[in-house]
């Protein structure tokens, strides 16, 4: 079961540390028959942004939002068009496969814009190195998180926890491209706002997913 994890483990060494930072989602207690078995934890647990958030705060300092944080009407996020659960009940009702799908879609949608963003801020003279490295770290984490979630998804599929209806994920990358173009048009503060929102979304969905699959584990 965990054999596949050997190779990715080294590749996602940081994912492990990220997982620790991610709190309950990142380090669920193992239970028999779940994909978060101890031996597999290192590779199966997705890294999520405890540091992502810290990094966000650091980066945001240099892109202060106008007025207060929500002091102006809707900014258009490139992921706004995506249909995502916007409440607890919805997130609990939606089939696990779809929830997983949503998570992956969100992560995928940020892959390209983040790398763009990184390139963009590299030319930003005022930014200290700390923020630059943080931004890169965030980008890496999102990538690793996506990989981790994919691994978990595969595992869950193989274990029959969720169905195999997610095979079309790869095809969504095509739409991701157009989305990322839209993202490139955003201002920096909007970008950060949207990323913050979506990272929070992903985190919430992952928590819900975990508690749906393993309700006995600290849920």
DSSP 21: H
Site mask for another protein (CB under 8 A), range 2-41, x = bound: ---------------------xx-----------------
DSSP 65: P
Contacts within 8 Å (CB) and 24+ apart, 128-132: 130/58, 131/58, 131/59, 131/61, 131/62
For residue 151, how many other CB atoms are within 10 A of its CB?
A: 21
One of 86, 125, 126, 167 touching another protein (CB under 8 A): 86
Q: Nearest distance from residue 27's CB to another protein, in Å?
A: 11
Span near another protein by CB under 8 A; candidates 81-89, 122-130, 145-153, 177-185: 81-89
Q: How many residues bind another protein (CB under 8 A)?
A: 32
Task: Give the residue with the Cβ less far from another protein, 14 or 212.
Answer: 212
Site mask for another protein (CB under 8 A), range 174-203, x = bound: -----------------------xx-xx-x
79's CB contacts (< 8 A; 6+ apart) are 106, 109, 110, 179, 194, 198
Span near another protein by CB under 8 A; candidates 9-17, 38-46, 154-162, 206-214: 206-214
Tokens encoding 75: 């900014």
Element (H, E) at 159: helix 129-159
- The radius of gyration of the chain from alpha carbons, rounded to an integer in Å, stands at 17
Q: Does 140 bind another protein (CB under 8 A)?
A: no
Q: Nearest distance from residue 73's CB to another protein, in Å?
A: 6
Task: Give the residue with the Cβ less far from another protein, 112 or 198.
Answer: 198
């Amino acid at each position: 079961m965990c054999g596949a994890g050997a190779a990715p483990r080294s590749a996602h060494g940081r994912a492990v540390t990220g997982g620790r930072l991610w709190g309950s989602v990142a380090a669920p207690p193992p239970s028999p028959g779940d994909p978060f078995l101890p031996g597999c934890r290192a590779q199966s647990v997705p890294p999520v942004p405890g540091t992502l958030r810290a990094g966000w705060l650091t980066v945001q300092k240099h892109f202060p939002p106008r007025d207060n944080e929500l002091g102006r009407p809707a900014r258009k996020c490139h992921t706004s068009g995506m249909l995502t659960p916007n409440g607890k009940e919805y997130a609990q009702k939606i089939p696990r496969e779809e929830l997983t799908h949503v998570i992956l879609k969100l992560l995928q949608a940020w892959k390209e814009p983040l790398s763009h963003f990184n390139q963009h801020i590299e030319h930003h003279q005022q930014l200290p190195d700390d923020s630059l490295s943080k931004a890169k770290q965030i980008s890496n984490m999102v990538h690793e998180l996506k990989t981790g979630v994919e691994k978990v998804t595969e595992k869950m599929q193989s274990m029959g926890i969720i169905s195999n209806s997610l095979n079309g994920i790869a095809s969504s990358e095509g739409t991701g491209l157009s989305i990322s173009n839209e993202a490139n048009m955003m201002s920096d503060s909007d970008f950060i706002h949207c990323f913050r929102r979506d990272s929070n979304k992903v985190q919430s969905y992952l928590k819900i997913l975990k508690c749906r699959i393993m309700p006995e584990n600290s849920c």
